[in-house]
Structure 1
């Protein structure tokens, strides 16, 4: 269900990667309580996901950046019928964001023009520490395509994915494509693909609190479910993220 918004060719590989995002082989969420931090970024249509990290701030991917006309929709499983539609005050990409040999520093923070009220369908999610969650199961969610050539749902899709090691990720994508700003997951029957870029990779920490490990960044151009996908790793850039929230 997740893909990136632009095409990135992977050298010396049979795979292609592109920024878009969607969830493949997920399930329809029964309520927003399963992912109350999830937001839909829209112009005249849904184009990316994101996560509430405070009542006024959304974490997303830098490749989701749009200069004008973006609104933040949240609080409903349906992205076509959101009870909350907020304007964007600022949309800031990480200054080191790049799309050369790989998609690196794929971080952006949105400041909304209003403050969200927290309830069972709307909650912010905590930022992570540097805990290694390799081998554990995380949750992904979004409104992206349901397959490489499939349609886009209006109801939120949710799936689980295993966190994989950096070495395992590099074995699929190559050493030059994977950096310290990335965390990899999937390859076990579900996938990230087009339309959910910027959306959450979330996991419960040792205390049972949900934390936002990453933001959907890039993966297989055909959203194959046996290929790992890549998220921008929030623990690597906490200083920059917190700086945006405090500015």
Structure 2
């Protein structure tokens, strides 16, 4: 059948990517080669030659992932074929363990541009301020915000992820 886009991921090595745990929850971890990563994608309606596709050889879901509350919502994806780094394909910078995050962050993806709207073909990016855990817990219930989460955005709404 035809392939379709359903989640984003970020490369951290030439053959490993990080994605949300809920993206792979319920998939066949023993035979993940029906799933693929497309690195270097920008406009999903056009094949501009910068894309590199690899099927998955391994999925690692965080051992404490909770599908209901989305606690520890992270997974690692091993690519069967390593990517070649280029102007369009590179790794993300990872923080040091225990590093405190502050300031603004850049969020990218193909999510809807308005509530209930269609998803765009072109990769989007938005800069949003990080919000402290305590402020986030004030805005949401304490049970909904765990230490493994990062809050970002503005209380008035608008740009978010």
Counterpart of 1:53 in 2: which secondary structure?
Answer: strand
| Alignment size in residue pairs | 148
Counterpart of 1:127 in 2: which secondary structure?
Answer: coil
CA drift at 1:178: 1.2
Q: Does residue 60 of structure 2 align to residue 95 of structure 1?
A: no
User: In 1, Cα distance between the equivalents of 2:159 and 2:106?
Assistant: 11
User: In 2, Cα distance between the equivalents of 1:86 and 1:190?
Assistant: 31
In the alignment, which residue of structure 1 is the partner of 2:128? Answer: 161
Q: Given the alignment, which residue of 179, 189, 196 partners 2:158?
A: 189
In the alignment, which residue of structure 1 is the partner of 2:107? Answer: 140
**Long gaps (5+) in structure 1:** 1-42, 193-247
Residues 36-75 of structure 1: pairs in structure 2 closer than 5 A: 44-65=3-24, 66-67=27-28, 68=32, 69-75=34-40
The alignment's TM-score, normalised by the length of structure 2, stands at 0.85
Question: Given that residues 14 and 83 in structure 2 are in contact (C-alpha distance below 8 angstroms), is that contact kept between their aligned partners in structure 1?
Answer: yes
**Long gaps (5+) in structure 2:** none
Question: Given that residues 73 and 79 in structure 1 are in contact (C-alpha distance below 8 angstroms), is that contact kept between their aligned partners in structure 2?
Answer: no
Structure with bigger gyration radius: 2
- Structure with bigger strand share is 1
User: In 2, Cα distance between the equivalents of 1:185 and 1:83?
Assistant: 29
**CA deviation string 1:132-171 (max 9, x = no partner):** 233x111000112111111111110010000000011101
**CA deviation string 1:103-125 (max 9, x = no partner):** 11111000000111111111111
Identify the structure with bigger relative contact order (alpha carbons < 8 Å, sequence gap 6+). 1
The alignment's TM-score, normalised by the length of structure 1, stands at 0.57
